[in-house]
Structure 1
């Protein structure tokens, strides 16, 4: 299959690529990335997290060397033609920082699937792991779902994962820790589509909440460090990628 990935250039997204790399090696893959930093400048705490995340990102770059990454910031506008040229059978979105419009969603014949770093519908939006930890959830989730329109994190659910929350580690550690299980669901979905099997997807049931970047009150009430200086991506990278 021809697969186009839409990612953000951060540690968690590159870690996800490292997990996906062996399974995607049999496919024709194109990777587009965004860089998004404007929001984190609102809070010094989030700015520090972003700077530390950038250090971890460098640890992943050698692990994803098999991929050729291209920056694509305006997928719905001036960059649409470049995206369309990839003629994807499937688009996979992971931490991508752009809302896709109908024209972009309509390009791949198998649709657009998104790996969201939170349990849906309960935790829509950004930094879902932060809000789940703030709410003292026992498990942290990922949700693989279709992007059906420009509504954020509301498409039909293909698969979910549930990873124990670790309150003896940092927020960032917990974010990185959920991607192994989440990417396993992506690999399963790709395999099914490659074999001509439809993906079983169910509409989201029940209400949820949309979360944005935490404000000062939420950050100061958070009981865990956002990151620990000893956090490393090496602990999470697949052994073959070290």
Structure 2
């Protein structure tokens, strides 16, 4: 084959696979590289309360999310974005980025640049948010909102990273929605 395009692929392609592409192999990553390499990048960005984000198309090499960047598209994060809505924005940007990638390949005008790996953050598949997604009442309302939105994939699909939850008495309950009020209620957490 001439090209390999890995899109929303949860598996790391081994060199024996991407090495068979005569012209090149490219991966879509739902985050700005090298800053949000690894898995669940959108959730980690929401947990960090980022307001700007991006998607990346990069060459596949022997590392994980380390290849040269060929397309980088900005994605803005709204204060109400959840993991689901940010992922949808990223997929929309990925389609536009893919068009840009294909146009560059067709015209022979694709520009690639190496990642500044000293700025790299990597989020492995097994990493989980603090307290396994349990809301901690000693945190600010903004932090609790960020945790809830970062782990929200909508009502039909639980986030594989983990679910936002609260300890109520001796019970652990899933938190589906959290609203930050304009002022304190005066009621203890």
Q: State whether TM-score is above 0.5.
A: yes
Provide the rounded CA distance (Å) in 2 between the counterparts of 1:175 and 1:186: 16
User: Which of the residues 26, 30, 43 maps onto 1:117?
Assistant: 30
Q: Map Cα deviations across residues 113-153 of structure 1 (whole Å, 9 max, x no partner).
A: 1110011101110010000110011112111100022x100
Q: Per-residue deviation at 1:228?
A: 3.2
Consecutive unaligned residues in structure 1, runs of 5 or more: 1-86, 232-242
RMSD over aligned CA atoms reads 2.1
Distance 1:104 1:228 in 2: 35
Displacement of 1:177 after TM fit? Answer: 1.3
* Higher helix content, 1 or 2: 1
Task: State the SS of the aligned residue for 2:75.
Answer: strand
Given the two structures, how large is their TM-score scaled by the length of structure 2?
0.68
**Structure 1 partner of 2:173:** none
Offset at residue 95 of structure 1 (A):
1.7
Unaligned runs of 5+ in 2: 136-146, 158-189
Shift of 1:230: 8.8
Q: Which of residues 148, 153, 164 is equivalent to 1:223? A: 148
Alignment partner, residue 81 of structure 2: 169
| TM-fit CA distance, 1:202 | 0.5
Among candidates 190, 193, 204, match of residue 105 of structure 2: 193
Task: Look at both structures and tell me which one has the larger radius of gyration over its CA atoms.
Answer: 2
Q: Secondary structure at the match of 2:111?
A: coil
Question: More relative contact order in 1 or in 2 (CA 8 Å, sep 6+)?
Answer: 1
Q: Which residue of 1 aligns with 2:18?
A: 105
C-alpha displacement at 1:229, in angstroms?
3.2
The TM-score, its normalising length taken from structure 1, stands at 0.54
